Chains A and B, each alone.
Chain A
Amino acid sequence: MPYAIEMKHIRKEFPGIIANDDINLQVEEGEIHALFGENGAGKSTLMNVLFGLYQPDEGEIYVHGKKVRIADPNDANRLGIGMVHQHFMLVEKFTVAENIILGREPTIHGRLDMTKAVKIVSDLSEKYGLDVDPMKKVEDITVGMQQRVEILKTLYRGSDILIFDEPTAVLTPLEIKELIDIMKRLVKEGKSIILITHKLKEIFEACDRCTVIRRGKIIGTIGIGETNPSDLADMMVGRKVNVRINNAPYEPKEKVLEIRDLTVLDSRKVKAVNQLNLTVHGGEIMGIAGVDGNGQTELVEAIAGLRKVKEGAIEINGNDVTNHKTRKIIEAGLGYIPEDRQKHGLVLDFSIGENMVLQTYYKKPYAFAGVLNNKVISKKAKQLIHEYDVRTPGEKTLARSLSGGNQQKVIVAREVDRSPQLLVAAQPTRGLDIGAIEFIHGKLLEEKEKGKAVLLVSFELDEILHLSDRIAVIFEGRIIDIVNPKETNENELGLLMAGRKKEEAQA
């Protein structure tokens, strides 16, 4: 039987970089095939070639055994190739059904036939088990459902080969599980799937075979049954990966962060944080575990002075900083790795050097009497780039042009170098590859060992379990329990996160 997709000797060059170098990829009919590699390895380039967004410099593409030329996404669609993009391409103000039929609308006497459209969508969603509400507006539905709409869009256009570009980056653990079920169901219905990912767990849960790509080259294709996570990780990174765990002794020092009866409202004026109490000591990593939307974001923003505290108090190093200005709080000893690194952590159109002094630019030695000392800033940036292994041509490069992992390294370098007493890290490794995750985990542990207090907020339970000295479970804006990571497991945490009390969870 011919392959669903066969790509032979694909080469794609960009000015200064060979993104794909002599790549061969074979995807069998009816399989889930993982394309696995670090950020910037060339996975997305290869898939964009397959989807007609890029033209390869060399190489051939076969679809169901027939040689094809894919000049644009329309060609790809005609050949039955559909792509679910990482960043959704939906019209927010349109309904689910309107979004799905957009570009190929069913008509009646030259007018849009909405009744038929809704029926088509309902039928499709039933056939493939993709639960959506056709009449709802896209802006009102969850991220998970938006993704299902994207999948339905490709199915509506008759795709039988689906490319998923890092689909789980935006999903909660529960939604990831649902997505994997959906993919398995699609394959059962005769579709073939290519899954672009850098997450090992997903590969082992969902895929049949896996092709590893590193620095634009294929390292190998392997059946999932014949390998294990640690080997695959080594294959991707090209060296032994060292999974860091927190095994330094737990010796808590004095209180650094104390939160008392904190109440914070969210943007809709609903209590997102409700009478929350929490204490973090020097020399410990306090993990906050919880399902997205239980007040983590608001808690962190309140600590950083970015959101008004309605009631209660926050103290850093014994100083009351409740409702102080962000700059005051930073000066009181806060380091902050924000959740959204591109929007909140960096000024993307500033150089790396300028980003390295985003909170300290007005202080000596970076400035004197209101005039910047660009030489000192430049020198500092070079030093940090070296120390934190930021992969870049130099400190004058714009932050925008760095990969996600390197952007995060810039932020971590800046925050850690200021040596704050309290380091708040919100989703510090989201979307990063194994190499970068390893590096950032190492830095968080170093801070703990230096006696600093670290507050780690993460949706990745593995991360929380590996790094924390204590885990505070947040549910509906309160800390409902604090557990010892050595005496708990993912299941128990999962139940706590769903709001069950410990006794119930153990029963």
Chain B
Amino acid sequence: MSKMLSKIQWMKLLVPIVSVVLGLLCGAIIMVAAGYNPLLAYGSIVQSIFLQPYYTGETIRAMIPLVLSGLAVAFAFRTGLFNIGVEGQLLVGWFASVAAAIVFEGLPKVILLPLCIIAGGAAGGIWGFLPGFLKARFKVHEVISTIMMNYIALYTTSYLIKNFLYTEGERTPTIPSAASLASPTLANLTQGSRLHWGFIVAILAAVAMWFILWKTTRGYELRAVGFSPDASKYAGMNVSRNIILSMTISGIFAGLSGAMEGLGTYQYMMINSTFTGIGFNGIAVALLGLNTPVGVILAGALFAGLQTGGLTMQSVAGVPVELIQIVIALIIFFVGSSYVIKWALLRFSMRGHKN
């Protein structure tokens, strides 16, 4: 019996791995069909990420918001909710952190930096709280309301920047260094990449997710409500409160993701005409990472690596950088069709068993 269980768990782990392999393989086929050399292309990605400090730094830098967004999606998913609104929560978090930095300019770093990070998390939290409240109180489906909230966030932040924090170049002024996560040390270490201290925030957030969900009574409740709202209600839990709480915590993770962009990568916020895409990639990261904190970090690393290393693919192998988006899309496709992969793996392992 325990042997069978471990087999099922193995299977679970194998699905994302097989998906990644298949995605890369199909990407290679497309490259060959288009007349490029896939070995050279993939080789350039690996080479740049692992041997060129600049790309290593940029990969870790790109990981930070991806991991936080992935955690946001995974946290909500673990409690039975589908938070499509990470993108919007990220935007308001980004804005709030930058706005706080500019408004409170002059405060010492020990106060200002935590304040800005908290502001970003809080703004995301509010943006998650609203759909959670609507769902708990009026049964508005969170997928619909979070998508709407994304647009509200996109245009509201643009409006606020234009009217209150505008500066040359369609953006806010640069934040004071007392609010910045950027680090000359880290930059020097990685030949001038934009790597910043936000990676510590991302790691802490992953630990927080694990701790909250699996070590606290609140997390026990959240998971119970996620699996079975009915049984939770019968056991005396407050289902509505847990839905709101879950969306709020998820929103905080997403808001932090935005704060990392504002305080770390860019040091300002631009007027976005479209979504950043990071929040949506968070869905894929969570899915590929099986909604576990460690999985999200690994999946975030993979996506960040592909995106960053993909830039060198063009210069080294002449492969258009868009192709890496196709590879990412293929990986997501294969994870999505995990049922087929599980079926194939089962067939394969059974045949092996008989012989």
What residues of chain A have their CB less than 8 Å away from a CB belonging to chain B? 15-16, 304, 306, 325-330, 336, 338, 343-350, 354, 358-359, 361-362, 367, 370-372, 374, 393-394, 397
Q: Which residue of the partner chain, among B5, B7, B232, contacts A347 with CB atoms under 8 Å?
A: B232
Q: Does B231 contact A (CB under 8 A)?
A: yes
Min CB distance B333 to A, Å, is 26
* B235 x A359 contact (CB < 8 A): yes
Q: Looking at the complex, which of B145-153, B179-187, B212-220, B336-344 is the stretch in contact with chain A?
A: B212-220
What residues of chain B have their CB less than 8 Å away from a CB belonging to chain A? 1-5, 7, 215-218, 220-221, 223-224, 227-228, 230-238
Residue pairs across A and B with Cβ atoms less than 8 A apart, 28 shown, are A16-B1, A16-B3, A304-B234, A326-B235, A326-B236, A329-B236, A330-B235, A344-B234, A345-B234, A346-B231, A347-B224, A347-B227, A349-B227, A350-B227, A358-B231, A359-B235, A359-B236, A361-B221, A367-B217, A370-B218, A371-B215, A371-B217, A372-B216, A372-B220, A374-B215, A393-B1, A393-B2, A397-B1
Q: Which residue of the partner chain, among B215, B217, B228, contacts A362 with CB atoms under 8 Å?
A: B217
Q: Which residue of the partner chain, among A15, A326, A329, contacts B4 with CB atoms under 8 Å?
A: A15
Min CB distance A443 to B, Å, is 19
Nearest B residue (CB) for A374: B215
* Complex Cα gap A372–B3 (Å): 28
Residues on the B chain within 8 Å of A338, using CB: 234
* Complex Cα gap A325–B220 (Å): 19
Of B5, B221, B235, chain A has the most CB atoms within 10 Å of the CB of B235
Residues on the B chain within 8 Å of A367, using CB: 217
* A327 x B236 contact (CB < 8 A): yes
* Complex Cα gap A29–B4 (Å): 41
- Chain A interface main SS type: loop
* A343 x B1 contact (CB < 8 A): no
Residues on the B chain within 8 Å of A348, using CB: 227-228
* B215 x A372 contact (CB < 8 A): yes
Nearest A residue (CB) for B353: A15
Residues on the A chain within 8 Å of B232, using CB: 347
Residues on the B chain within 8 Å of A345, using CB: 231, 234
With A15-B7, A350-B223, A393-B1 as contacts: A361 and B217 at CB distance below 8 Å: yes
Known contacts A327-B237, A346-B231, A359-B236; can you find 19 more A-B pairs with CB under 8 A? A16-B3, A306-B233, A325-B238, A326-B233, A330-B236, A336-B234, A344-B234, A346-B228, A347-B224, A348-B227, A349-B227, A349-B228, A358-B224, A361-B217, A371-B215, A371-B216, A372-B216, A393-B2, A393-B5
* B233 x A347 contact (CB < 8 A): no
Min CB distance A273 to B, Å, is 19
Min CB distance A57 to B, Å, is 10
* Complex Cα gap A367–B215 (Å): 9
Residues on the A chain within 8 Å of B228, using CB: 343, 346-349
* Complex Cα gap A301–B217 (Å): 26
* Complex Cα gap A63–B330 (Å): 49
Of A306, A338, A344, chain B has the most CB atoms within 10 Å of the CB of A344
Min CB distance A153 to B, Å, is 28
* A325 x B236 contact (CB < 8 A): yes
Nearest B residue (CB) for A17: B1
Residues on the A chain within 8 Å of B7, using CB: 15
Q: Which residue of the partner chain, among A328, A330, A343, A372, contacts B231 with CB atoms under 8 Å?
A: A343
* Complex Cα gap A330–B238 (Å): 14
Nearest B residue (CB) for A336: B234
Residues on the A chain within 8 Å of B231, using CB: 343-347, 358
Min CB distance B223 to A, Å, is 7
* Complex Cα gap A370–B215 (Å): 9
Residues on the B chain within 8 Å of A344, using CB: 230-231, 234
Of B217, B220, B221, B236, chain A has the most CB atoms within 10 Å of the CB of B236
Of A304, A358, A359, chain B has the most CB atoms within 10 Å of the CB of A358
Nearest B residue (CB) for A15: B4
Which 6 A-B pairs have CB atoms at the shortest separation, nearest pair first? A327-B236, A326-B236, A358-B235, A393-B1, A349-B227, A344-B234
Nearest B residue (CB) for A357: B220
* Complex Cα gap A343–B163 (Å): 53
* Complex Cα gap A306–B230 (Å): 10
Min CB distance A396 to B, Å, is 9
Residues on the B chain within 8 Å of A343, using CB: 228, 230-231
* Complex Cα gap A343–B234 (Å): 10
Residues on the B chain within 8 Å of A306, using CB: 233-234
Min CB distance B100 to A, Å, is 29
Residues on the A chain within 8 Å of B216, using CB: 370-372
* Complex Cα gap A338–B233 (Å): 12
Residues on the A chain within 8 Å of B221, using CB: 361
* A354 x B1 contact (CB < 8 A): no
Min CB distance A255 to B, Å, is 24
Of B223, B228, B233, chain A has the most CB atoms within 10 Å of the CB of B228
* Complex Cα gap A394–B1 (Å): 10
* B233 x A354 contact (CB < 8 A): no
* Complex Cα gap A349–B78 (Å): 12
* Complex Cα gap A300–B218 (Å): 28
Nearest A residue (CB) for B225: A347
With A344-B231, A345-B231, A349-B227 as contacts: A354 and B3 at CB distance below 8 Å: no
* Complex Cα gap A218–B212 (Å): 51
Residues on the B chain within 8 Å of A374, using CB: 215
* Complex Cα gap A476–B238 (Å): 31
Min CB distance B80 to A, Å, is 10
Residues on the B chain within 8 Å of A347, using CB: 224, 227-228, 231-232
* Complex Cα gap A348–B228 (Å): 8
Of A347, A370, A374, chain B has the most CB atoms within 10 Å of the CB of A347
Min CB distance B213 to A, Å, is 11
Min CB distance A118 to B, Å, is 38
Min CB distance B352 to A, Å, is 14
Of B3, B221, B223, B227, chain A has the most CB atoms within 10 Å of the CB of B227
